[in-house]
Each structure stands twice: as structure tokens, then as C-alpha cells.
């Protein structure tokens, strides 16, 4: 196991945000677009969080969190479910939080990445 793996709170945050987003259709009104958008983005975000946890030196995984967060934030307009208030708000809040944890984890990921590069 890599030193520092499975410990970064930001990456655990991405996993939790992803799981809650993927499960949110169970408790909100949905149409097909809002349901599948949140399930797919939620699963991808949780998977990216697990990637970051298992490989803390991966800077790319943090950028994936940020990109998924931006896409999730834009999804209610692009997929046309802004009229489903709770579904839209779930996407907006989860998107902002995903960007926040991705940005917050970048310095630690860069430090870990530099440490790995220095060992070669």
C-alpha cells in the first residue's frame, strides 16, 4: 500500500458526494434525464474518488473531480431538468462540492506526485 493512500479527506468527500448523488433519485422527483444523469455522474465521481484514494500521487484524478463537478453543475440546464427542483438542486450542490474537494486536494496530490518523481 502506498504511503498516504486511503487517508485524504477530500477524496473521501468525493466518494460520499458521488454515492449520495447516485442514490438521490431514490428520494427526489425524476424524469429519465435527471435520473440517469445523476446516477452516471455520481458513480463516476465516486469511482474517481476511489482512484484518488488508491493513488494519492495522481493529480489527474483531482482534475477529474473538478471536471465532473462542473458537468454535474451544468447538467440541469443541458439535460433540461431545472423544473425538477430537488433534482436540479442536488446536481448544483453536488457539482459545487465536487469542484471544491477537487480543488482542495490539488496541493496534496501535487506534493505526493513530486515525492514519487523524486524517488525515481
> pLDDT under 70 in the chain at which residues?
1-4, 115-120
Q: Is residue 43 part of a domain?
A: yes
**Cα gap 109→68, rounded to integer Å:** 18
Which cell numbers hold the place of 58? 495522481
Domain that holds residue 83: 9-119
For residue 21, give Cα distances in angstroms to 9, 47, 75, 101. 18, 13, 13, 15
pLDDT of residue 7: 86
Q: Which residues contact 10 (CB under 8 A, 6 or more apart)?
A: 52, 62, 101, 102, 104, 105, 108
Q: Is residue 1 part of a domain?
A: no
pLDDT of residue 113: 74
Counted domains in the chain: 1
Q: Is residue 29 part of a domain?
A: yes
pLDDT of residue 112: 80
Q: What pTM, to 2 d.p., does this model score?
A: 0.90
Q: Is residue 2 part of a domain?
A: no
Q: Is residue 84 part of a domain?
A: yes
**Cα gap 74→77, rounded to integer Å:** 6
Amino acid at each position: 500500500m502506498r504511503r498516504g493512500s486511503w487517508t485524504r479527506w477530500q477524496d473521501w468527500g468525493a466518494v460520499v458526494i458521488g454515492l449520495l448523488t447516485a442514490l438521490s433519485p431514490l428520494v427526489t422527483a425524476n424524469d429519465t434525464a435527471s435520473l440517469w444523469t445523476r446516477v452516471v455522474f455520481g458513480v463516476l465521481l465516486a469511482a474517481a474518488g476511489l482512484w484518488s484514494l488508491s493513488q494519492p500521487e495522481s493529480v489527474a484524478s483531482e482534475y477529474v473531480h473538478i471536471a465532473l463537478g462542473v458537468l454535474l453543475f451544468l447538467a440541469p440546464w443541458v439535460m433540461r431538468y431545472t423544473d425538477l427542483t430537488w433534482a436540479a438542486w442536488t446536481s448544483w450542490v453536488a457539482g459545487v462540492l465536487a469542484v471544491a474537494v477537487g480543488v482542495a486536494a490539488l496541493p496534496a496530490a501535487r506534493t505526493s506526485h513530486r515525492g514519487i518523481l523524486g524517488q525515481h
